[in-house]
Structure 1
Amino acid sequence: MAWQRPTYRTVGGERVDGVWRHVWRRHQLSDEYYVDDLFVYADGAIRCEELTDLDGLRRRLAKGLIALRDPKAPPLPEQPSKWLARYSEPLTPQTFLLEVADLIEELSGRPTAAQRCHEAIRHYRQEPTELSRVALRKAYLAIPAHLRVYILGDMERQDRPLRILLTDVGEPVDGDGPVVTEEMHRDVLAFFDEYDHGVTERPRPVYADDSVDAVPPPVVLHDVIYPRGWPEELDFFVLRNNYPAEIHFAGGTHPSVHEAYWALAESHRGDDWPDVRLAVMAGLLRAKFTQHPDLAGILLATGDATISYTGHKESPYWREAGSRGGRNWIGRLLELVRSELSWPTGE
C-alpha cells in the first residue's frame, strides 16, 4: 500500500511535513480490525489515533494492535523461486519499521537508504574494487527487503544487475539463480554506465526563432564524488549546487547554493515555501554566476545545450530522473541564467 502525501502537523507554530497510509487497527473491545490512517512526520512523531514514536509503533505491531494488511485476507502465495519471483519479499512488521525510519530520514531532508545505495553504486563505478562492492552490498541490504527489487526503477529487471553484482563469483544469485561469473560482473558495470548516462537527446520541432545550427547534445550534470577534493581544473562540475562557491544573497553569506537554499528553507516562516522555492532557487543561481565570473564562463560554455541535472539527493522536482520522471528545474533554471548572462548589458 502506497504512502500518500502531502500532510503535516503544526508544532509551536512550525509546519512539520508528513506522509500517511492505511493500516488495520484492532478494536479495543474485540478482536475485530478496521481501517485507520497511520501518519509519519519529519520530527519522528507517528500517529494512529494517538501520538507515539518508532518504539511505540514497534510495540503496537508486536502486540497485534496494528496490522499492515487485512487480517481476513488470504495469505500471499509463496514464490517458487526467489530469482524468478516477479515481486519483492513480503512486507513484515520488521521491514515496515525500517521503511518508516527511512521515511523520517527523507522527510527530514537526510539521505534515505535508497539514496545511499545509489551513492554506493556511483562509488563502485568509480572504484570497482572488492571493498567498494562489499560496501555496496551493505548499502543494498540496508534497504527494507520489500522495497529492494525496485531500487533501479526498472520493473522488468527488478534489481537483477545489483543482485548479480552483490553475489560472489561461483555462487548462485539469490540461492536459486544462475551461478555468477566474472563476465557477469563486468556486464553489470556496462549496464550501470548505460543506466547512469541514459539521458538521451530530446527531439524538438524547429520554429521561426530557433537557431539554424544543429541541436547540440545535452549537458548532463552528474552528481560525482571527489574523495580527494574538488579538481583544480574547473569543469562542468562547478555548475552543481554543492560546488563550494560563496554567495551573498538576501542579506546573508553562504558557502554554496545548496547550503543557502536549505538555510533559507529552514528560516522561512509560513506554509508557502513550495510556492516560493522556485523563485528562491532562481535568485541563488543568479547570485552564484554573477558573483563568480569564472563559473559564469563555464555555464556559457554549454552554449545552447539542454542542461540535465541528475542525482539522487535532490527531489525529482529539481532533477532529471529519466524514465522515472523528474522536472529538472535546476537544469532549466541554469539554462535561464545562461540566457540572461548572454544578453548584452544595458540592452
Structure 2
Amino acid sequence: MVGGERIDGVWCHIWRRTDFSGEYYVNDLVLYADGTVVCDGATDLPGLKRLLDVGRLALTPPDAPVKVDERSKWESPWGEPRTPESFLLEVADRVEELNGRPAAARRCWDAAGRYAREPSEANRELLRAAYLAVPQHLRLFVLGDMDRLDRPLRILLTDVGAHVDGDGPLVTPEMHESELEYFRRQAEAIATAEQRRAALHADDPVTAARPTVTSHQTVYPRGRPAEPGLFVLRNDFPAPIAYDGETYASVLHGYWALSAADTADRARIREAPSGRDAQEVGSGVVRRDGWTGLRLAVMAGLLRAKFTQHPELGAVLLGTEDARISYTGFSDSPFWLDARDDRGRNWVGRLLELVRSELALTQEPQRA
C-alpha cells in the first residue's frame, strides 16, 4: 500500500548469495507494478541486472548440473534455457501485465493475426520482431497450444525452401498457407469468445472505476479535526443512530450492544464513552445465541441507518463514487477488515459500497 493505493505485485524464487559464506540459498523476489524489485533490499530493473551481473542473485545455483537436450530443436518439447537476459525481459514483461498493458505474448498474437489477415512481407517482419521480443525461455509456449507449441510461428518465419530451425521439415507454400489458416481460425475463435463475454458482461461499466479508497483506523490524541473527511466512514465515528428501538452513539456502540445476550450488558455497552470503549466492554460479555450468523445483517442495518439518518455523512460516502472501499485497521476482526492475509474479508468496506449504491438509488430521478 502506497499513499492508500494498492500496488499489485508478483513473486518468484531466486538464488541469493550470502554475505558471509558466499553460499547460495533460495529467496523470494517480489516485483511490483511500479517497477520496484524487492529481494536484496529494494531496487529497480537496472538494479536487478547489476545484482545478476555480479552474482549476488542467480537463477540457478552455480554448481547445478547443466541439462543437455540431445534432440533436434524442432523435435524438442523443452524451451530454451532461462538466461539472465531473458529473465530480465520476463520481469519487464510482468510489469507491463501488472499495469494492464499488452505483454510480449499478446503483441505476438496480435502480429500473427495481422499477418494472417494481410500476408505481406512487411507484416511478416513485424511478426518476426514480435516473436523475438518474447523472452527466449517462454517462446515455446507463447501460443498456449500444448500440442503444436510455437511451431506455427517458426514455420511462418522460415523461408519457403528452407528447413525450420535447420533440422526441421522443409517449408513449402502449402505449409505457409496452412499455418496462416491456423491463425485465422484462432482469431475467429477469440472474436467469438470476446463477443460472448461482452454479452454476458453487458452491465459492466465502460470506463475504469476510481482508484480504491482506503479507510484507515486513526487515533486523534489532540481531538478530531473540524473537517473529518473520510473519517466519517469509520464505525467509531460519533453519529447517533436510531436502530431497533434504541439510540446508539456510533455503529460500534450498536454492534457490540446488539451482540450481547444480557440486557444489562447491552445497557453498559450503549452508555460507553466512545465507540472503542463500547468495543472493549462488548468484547468481554456473553454473546447472544447465533450471533455469528446474525452479525452481518446487524452491521448492514446499522450502516444503512447511519448514512440515511445523517445526509451529510451519506454525501461523503456518495463522494467516493464507484471506488472500491478498503476498510483497514488493527482493532477489529479480519472478518471486517481488508487484511493482507486470506482471513481479511473486508465486509465493512463491502457493506459501505452496498449502502452507497442504495443511497444513489434513492437519489435517482423517478421514472415516469
TM-score after normalising by structure 2: 0.54
Contact 2:6–2:212, Cα closer than 8 Å, also in 1: no
Greater helix share, structure number: 2
Alpha-carbon separation, structure 2, partners of 1:20 and 1:221: 30
Alpha-carbon separation, structure 2, partners of 1:132 and 1:67: 38
Q: Counterpart in 1 of 2:5? A: 14
Among candidates 212, 215, 223, match of residue 268 of structure 1: 212
Q: Counterpart in 1 of 2:75? A: 84
Alpha-carbon separation, structure 2, partners of 1:126 and 1:59: 43
| Aligned-pair CA distance for 1:194 | 2.9
Amino acid at match of 1:108: N
Amino acid at match of 1:113: A
Among candidates 93, 97, 109, match of residue 102 of structure 1: 93
Change (3 A) 1:237 1:80: closer
Change (3 A) 1:168 1:268: same
Q: Counterpart in 2 of 1:60? A: 51
Q: Is 1:139 aligned to 2:139, yes or no? A: no
Alpha-carbon separation, structure 2, partners of 1:185 and 1:237: 32
1:299-332 residue CA offsets vs partner (Å, 9 max, x unmatched): xxxxxxxxxxxxxxxxxxxxxxxxxxxxxxxxxx
Among candidates 187, 197, 203, match of residue 178 of structure 2: 187
CA RMSD of aligned residues (A): 3.0
Contact 2:16–2:25, Cα closer than 8 Å, also in 1: yes
1:35-89 residue CA offsets vs partner (Å, 9 max, x unmatched): 1000011000001030000000000101111111233322122343111111110
Q: Counterpart in 2 of 1:220? A: 192
Amino acid at match of 1:128: P
- Identity over aligned residues, as a percent? 50
Contact 1:18–1:39, Cα closer than 8 Å, also in 2: yes
| Aligned-pair CA distance for 1:238 | 9.5
Change (3 A) 1:187 1:144: same
* More displaced 10-residue stretch of structure 1: 89-98 or 109-118: 109-118
| Aligned-pair CA distance for 1:119 | 1.0
Q: What secondary structure sits across from 1:11 in the alignment?
A: coil
Gaps of 5+ in 1: 1-9, 200-218, 224-235, 242-246, 250-256, 272-283, 285-345
Q: Is 1:164 aligned to 2:136, yes or no? A: no
Q: Counterpart in 1 of 2:115? A: 124
Contact 1:221–1:240, Cα closer than 8 Å, also in 2: no
Contact 1:44–1:53, Cα closer than 8 Å, also in 2: yes
Amino acid at match of 1:269: V
1:274-294 residue CA offsets vs partner (Å, 9 max, x unmatched): xxxxxxxxxx9xxxxxxxxxx
Q: Is 1:38 aligned to 2:24, yes or no? A: no
Q: Counterpart in 2 of 1:244? A: none
Q: Counterpart in 2 of 1:50? A: 41
Among candidates 88, 111, 122, match of residue 102 of structure 2: 111
1:175-194 residue CA offsets vs partner (Å, 9 max, x unmatched): 22112111110010122233
Amino acid at match of 1:49: D
1:1-30 residue CA offsets vs partner (Å, 9 max, x unmatched): xxxxxxxxx222221100001111001122
Contact 2:7–2:33, Cα closer than 8 Å, also in 1: yes
Amino acid at match of 1:55: P
Amino acid at match of 1:164: I
Alpha-carbon separation, structure 2, partners of 1:97 and 1:174: 25
1:159-179 residue CA offsets vs partner (Å, 9 max, x unmatched): 101110011112211122112
Change (3 A) 1:155 1:49: same
TM-score after normalising by structure 1: 0.57
Alpha-carbon separation, structure 1, partners of 2:14 and 2:96: 21
Alpha-carbon separation, structure 1, partners of 2:199 and 2:117: 20
| Aligned-pair CA distance for 1:155 | 1.7
Amino acid at match of 1:192: F
